[in-house]
Amino acid sequence: MDKAFIHKVEQIILEHIEDEKFGANELASEINLSSSQLLRRIKNISGKTTSEFIRDTRLQEAAKLIKEDQYTASEISFQIGFSSPSYFNKCFHDYFGITPGEYKEKFEKILIEEETQPKLKKPTRLKHQKNILLVILSVVVIIISFILVKNFLNTRGENQSYSIAVLPIKCLSNDKSNQYFADGVMDDIMNHLSTIKEFRVISRTTMEQYRKTNKTAPEISKELRISHIIESSFQKYKDSVMIIVQLIDAKKDKHIWSKKFEREFGNIFTLESEIAKEIASELKITLSPDKINQIESKPTDNLEAYTLYLKGRFFWHQRTKKDLERSIYYYNQTLQLDSTYALAYSGLADTYLHMAGWGWYDRMKGLLKAKEFATKALFINNNIAESHATMGALFAYGQWNWNAGEKEFKHAISLNPNYASAHEYYSMLLDVMGRRKEARKEIDIALQLNPHSAILNQLSAGYYFRSEYYDKSLEKSLKNQKNFKNHPLVNTNNFRIYMMQKNYSKAIQELKRNLELNPLTQKYVDTVQIIYKNSGIKGVYRWRLQNDIKNNYEIYFIAEKYAFLGENDKALTLLEKCYKSRSVWAPYIKCNPFFKNLQSEPRFQTILKKMNLDD
């Protein structure tokens, strides 16, 4: 009975062996006994306390793993529930009388002695010759293997790269208002990692989808095509902060490294850079002195300003009109405390750029403000990738200075290869200029970094459309509809694709579906069907044209409809207005298939020349 009980206890411990928090209380709960009942029973059988029995079971399992010779002592310590390798070494020594390394050497020595014991039976001459031949072949194989392994390791050392997903940080504090601070601190660590060229770091936007996930590390690895996951938890109390960070081999679901960091709040920047450097070190990445200086640089000496900045960035990530306005408020509060806080200026520049782009702020005023704040940020710190990307967007889409824009985008990417928005903006420039293959490459990189972005996926479908790969565009667009059902942009593309394919019946079905999605337009569904039956697709287009004019719709898309109807003069007049108002859509006239029949028109070529898009 006692033997069966102990076996059951051991099995339960082994099932939870990687969980360092699995202790006496958890074991008692699993075995349906009170803690005191379990203690008495284990004590009577083994003479140990429950905690001692759990620890010793862990250490016995560690000895088995050492004999397998597949893992380092540090890796084994995490696998058996010790978060500190040094504490594991101490416990192992106390239990076995030798260190894990000495235990491994002793076991290997025993194996060698067993293998080298003389055989009682003398081998025959034939067997002796075979043995000599085998030895020679073995030596040859060893030499070849050594050369191959050496070459592989040399190549690996030069070219090894890692794809990393940083899960949203867990805030352990009872004060949930600290979540913005925890997110901000982890953002800073992510930003440090993102500047390391050997790392591909998945964007915050995509990782936010996994804040409350129950998915395993291998499942996340498969979805995002990543090799490693970083998990972390955060606690802030009085004037101190604690962060526990774990680095996981996502494909194998194996802990590689874990460490608890506790620092005074005043040392938060040192803590952030220390974590980033240790992660790089664990993955055998050698950082240059310049990179170390970049990671260790402090954005401000004012911790209150830092706290306000994190609030601004917290609302910036929400990306609604209201939240962007709140982020502006906190960035301005930050600058009142520290007028040299470059990242706060950069945050303002990004916010005004996006608000102007979405029509939530006067376009020209928004672009001017974005330029003002990006310029201030770069004057203070010329190594901010976000500000260079913003300047690139301002040059390209504000001034149509494509060469200057491209230069800024490339510089932003060199500073932070993992900044998805820089790749996104650059892909848009390349698309506008007709450099299709390069645009595809950049949008694909952006999607690798931020695969759950509805906007990036929609842009990707749009690039196929403008390249006249309509089947691929439709395939991508239909997938977007499935994955981003509630996003306003993903229901607008299929109609135009069907039109280019001359699949008018499908186009009408798509139009009716779009009208049904909006309560204000549901009443037009039957109207569209009647018009199509009586007047064909051009009748439907003319009806849509009249509605667009009545509702002051974007003139670029009204021009599209005139072009489709063959009313080229009206289409060109609107495109000229598009240029004069510096519409965000104006540069796309060069690559829009709807305007293909206009491209030989002198007026059309004049517009392209004014936007510096003539060949």
Q: How confident is the model at residue 488 (pLDDT cuts 50, 70, 90)?
A: low
Please give the Cα distance from 193 to 379 (Å, whole number). 24
Give the pLDDT of residue 155. Answer: 40
pLDDT in tens, 104-153: 777 766 665 555 555 444 445 555 555 555 555 555 545 554 444 444 44
Per-residue pLDDT tens over the stretch 192-225: 888 888 888 888 878 888 888 888 889 999 999 9
Question: Over the chain, what is the mean pLDDT?
Answer: 84
**Cα distance between residue 589 and residue 314, in whole Å:** 36
Q: Which long-range contacts (CB under 8 A, 24 or more apart) does 576-584 make?
A: 576/603, 576/607, 579/607, 579/610, 579/611, 581/555, 582/363, 582/364, 582/398, 583/554, 583/555, 583/556, 584/357, 584/363, 584/397
- For residues 548 and 557, give the distance between their C-alpha atoms in angstroms, rounded to a whole number: 9
Would you tell me how many other CB atoms lie within 10 Å of the CB of residue 176? 9
What is the DSSP secondary-structure string of 456-501? HHHHHHHHHHHTT-HHHHHHHHHHHHHH-TT-TTTTSSHHHHHHHT
Specify whether the backbone of 359 is left (phi greater than 0), alpha (psi in -120 to 50) or beta.
Answer: left
Of 530, 555, 558, 563, nearest to 546 by C-alpha is 558
Using alpha carbons, select from 284, 300, 183, 275 the residue that is nearest to residue 236.
183
pTM of the model: 0.69
Pairing of strands 240-249, 254-264: antiparallel
User: pLDDT band at residue 491, thresholds of 50, 70 and 90?
Assistant: low
- Compute the Cα dihedral for 392, 393, 396, 399 and give only its sign: negative
What is the pLDDT, as a whole number, of residue 47? Answer: 86
- Mean pLDDT across 567-594: 92
11-20, 31-40, 437-446: range with highest mean pLDDT? 437-446
Q: CA nearest 404: which of 418, 419, 376, 425?
A: 425
Which pLDDT score, from 0 to 100, does residue 113 have?
A: 58
Residue 280, both tokens: 């790089």
CB 16, CB 9: distance < 8 Å:
no
pLDDT for the residue numbered 233: 86
Distance (Å) of CA 249 to CA 228, 283, 286: 5, 11, 19
CA distance 247 to 231: 7
